[in-house]
Structure 1
Amino acid sequence: MVEAGNRTAGSQFFLLGLTDDPALQPLLFGLFLCIYLVTVLGNLLIILAVCSDAHLHTPMYFFLGGLSFVDICFSTTTVPKMLTNLRAGDRGITYAGCLTQACVVLVFAGLENCLLAVMAYDRYVAICQPLRYTVVMSPRLCVLLVLLSLCASLLNALLLSLPALRLAFCTHLEIPLFFCELAQVIRLACSDTFLNHLLVYVAACGFGGVPFAGILFSYVRIVSSVLKMPSAKGRHKAFSTCGAHLSVVSLFYGTGLGAYVGSALSSSSRQSAAASAMYSVVPQIMNPFIYSLRNADMKAALSAVMRRSLQTWVAQNQSRSQKA
């Protein structure tokens, strides 16, 4: 029997993607290129607005800026490789590239999961303990929560990815997605995968379940506190501050659960690829729109950023024309 190292050294995986039809490849390339550009631009505008507007220098918007950065990184991990494959007509990805991509996807998916829980805790403190908010959510604690989220995500990704290095792969290394997902990689192994599957289930229940439980706990306490408010205006204001976050949470977990159920129930590789696109592309492009449309402060900050950018562009053009 050939050792795992020899088997994997020259292995190449093939990302089947969304379709085999050559006529649809240019259409998919244009569609996902637009999605990627809008995702990067939208999230960059959120980051610029948070950094440039002093009114947004609060824990809530600090975490939102972090979430936008993670969304950019998540999309950059998956979509450019897909665009390259569509453009070149080559679906191959090296063994090292595939495992690296799977690991990085786990890092940013886990980090987004943790940040959503941290943002729920921030809303809980703001609504349930408003007088202590500035004391509890200090800048030091905010930075510490982000660093702990990053460390937990890195540890989870490494604990899941490193055992995959010992796996041996034989033939038919086809992944029915447009990026490498660790669960799909494990399915292709021809060696014992019991430990790998066990780690995936433990991580899904533990690392995935704990932040989600934290979000549920935070919102149970929030709803309980808001319902006790005597003023209807106060209740509406409290709920409105949570509306955008709840929408983002629902989108993130809804698309993730839909992808998992879809891949489990469907035997079609194309349906699995479409389901994976939902959770790896849709939340990242929708988050900026959700926060900018549902938050008056963010809309004002974004308008100011775009107005200053336009003024700078006009001034530069006028300067060039005068020199000419």
Structure 2
Amino acid sequence: MASTNNVTELIFTGLFQDPEVQRVCFVVFLPVYLATLVGNGLIVLTISVSKSLRSPMYFFLSYLSFVEISYSSTVVPKFVTDLLAKVKTMSMKGCLTQIFFFHFFAVAEILLLVVMAYDRYVAICKPLHYMNIMSRQLCHMLVAGSWLGGFLHSIIQVAITIPLPFCGPNVIDHYFCDLHPLFKLACTDTFVEGVIVLANSGLISIFSLLILVSSYIIILAHLRNHSAEGRRKALSTCASHITAVVLFFIPASFIYMRPSSTFTGDKLVAVFYTVITPMLNPIIYTLRNAEVKTAMRKLWAKKEKLGIGE
């Protein structure tokens, strides 16, 4: 009798079947990925060298941009190169590695967004104690907690997948390795595993969303006592954060907080949060933030001067 785990290689159906459409997608998604790397890389660089961006808000933003680069890099390079390949394959070990890092960075990002909401709450509701509460030590602990949360979440996801028997079909109806499409290939009922994934992803999402919504309700209630100018300034810093949360949470919740299905629609929603959202974050945070724009201009001017000096 054949071994229950004789599937060593997986084949992806990809996003679309038509080679012409795939080439168009390549031309669209490669620049999007490069823009993600450049945009988020610029934010990390600007915050690390600029003396004016030393507040905790920017410390968290630089980590968020780093996570965006890592998160999209677990899926997009392989996805983009596969758009030009006739047969899209990945080893089973590669698949499990992709699942681990994809979920690790996704949950680290969710928790960082929660941390950033807490930072905005302290800045707006307790401005006089802001620097005491958001000490360097606490900021480092909050970032470490985000990484740890992502790690624990991913370990659970992979630990329930490794023991599953895969004995025959090896075609995944997706463009990257994720749990629900992989579960469909298992030669056993994966109902329990599906429930664990739903609970694991669902609890993190619901818990995070509750904290995010409550922090913004408290902030909005607190802002009623501020002057119109104070309200406008506070809301402009919050607006970027709320936009980033909505863009990340809604598509991800659509995929993970309901029973699995394989509609092309699901894959298109996944494209939104794996390819598009990581590119939008730098735009959201820099367009609405005068300090970041000024620091970027200074950095650019410094670079120009050095260029002339050479």
Q: Fold match, TM over 0.5?
A: yes
Shift of 1:272: 2.4
Instruction: Kindly state the Cα deviation for residue 47 of structure 1 after the two structures are TM-superposed.
Output: 0.6
C-alpha distance in 1 between matches for 2:76 and 2:84:
12
Distance 2:236 2:196 in 1: 39
Conserved 8 A contact 2:201-2:257? no
Q: Secondary structure at the match of 2:165?
A: coil
Distance 1:116-1:93 versus aligned 2 partners, 3 A rule = same
Residue 176 in structure 1 maps to residue 150 in structure 2:
no
* Bigger Cα displacement from structure 2, 62-71 vs 16-25: 16-25
- Tell me the alpha carbon deviations over residues 103-147 of structure 1, each in whole angstroms, 9 at most, x when there is no partner: 110001000000000000000000111111001000000000010
State whether structure 2 residue 237 is matched by structure 1 residue 237.
no
State the partner residue of 2:301. Answer: 307
2:87 is paired with a residue whose SS is coil
Is 1:7 matched with 2:9? no
- How far apart, CA to CA, are the structure 1 residues paired with 2:213 and 2:265? 30
Structure 2: any 5+ residue segments left out of the alignment? none
Q: Does the residue aligned with 1:92 lie in a helix, a strand or coil?
A: strand
More helix by share: 1
Name 2:110's counterpart in structure 1: 113
Displacement, 1:227?
1.2
In the TM superposition, what are the counterparts of 1:16-31 in structure 2 within 5 Å? 16-31=13-28
Superposition deviation, residue 35 in structure 1:
0.8
2:244 maps to what in 1? 248
Which residue of 144, 148, 151 maps to 1:154?
A: 151
CA contact (8 A) 1:263 1:272 kept: no
Query: TM-score, with normalisation over the residues of structure 2?
Result: 0.94
CA contact (8 A) 1:48 1:305 kept: no
Given that residues 10 and 172 in structure 2 are in contact (C-alpha distance below 8 angstroms), is that contact kept between their aligned partners in structure 1? Answer: yes
When residues 313 and 172 of structure 1 are mapped into structure 2, their CA distance, relative to the original with a 3 A threshold, is farther
Structure 1: gaps of 5 or more residues: 317-324
The two structures have a TM-score, normalised by structure 1, of 0.90
2:280 counterpart (260, 283, 286): 286
CA change 1:202–1:259 in 2 (3 A) is closer
Mean Cα deviation higher: 85-94 or 253-262: 253-262
- Paired AA for residue 29 in structure 1: F
Contact 1:99 1:180 in 2 (8 A): yes
Cα shift at 1:3? 4.3
- The answer on 1:52 being equivalent to 2:49 is yes
User: Cα offset for 1:260?
Assistant: 5.1
Please tell me the root mean square deviation across aligned C-alpha atoms, in Å: 1.9
Q: Which amino acid aligns with 2:160?
A: P
SS of 1:88's partner is coil
Q: 1:195-228: per-residue Cα shift (whole Å, max 9, x none)? A: 3112112112222221211111111110110112
Whichever residue aligns with residue 6 of structure 2, its letter is R
Say how many residue pairs are matched.
310
Q: 1:221 to 1:55 in 2, by over 3 A?
A: same
Q: Is the 2:173–2:262 contact (alpha carbons within 8 Å) kept by the matching residues of 1?
A: no
CA change 1:310–1:18 in 2 (3 A) is farther
The structural deviation recorded for 1:148 is 0.9
User: How many Å apart are 1:180 and its aligned residue?
Assistant: 0.8
Aligned partner of 1:171: which letter?
Answer: G
Alignment of 1:186-201 (within 5 A): 186-201=183-198
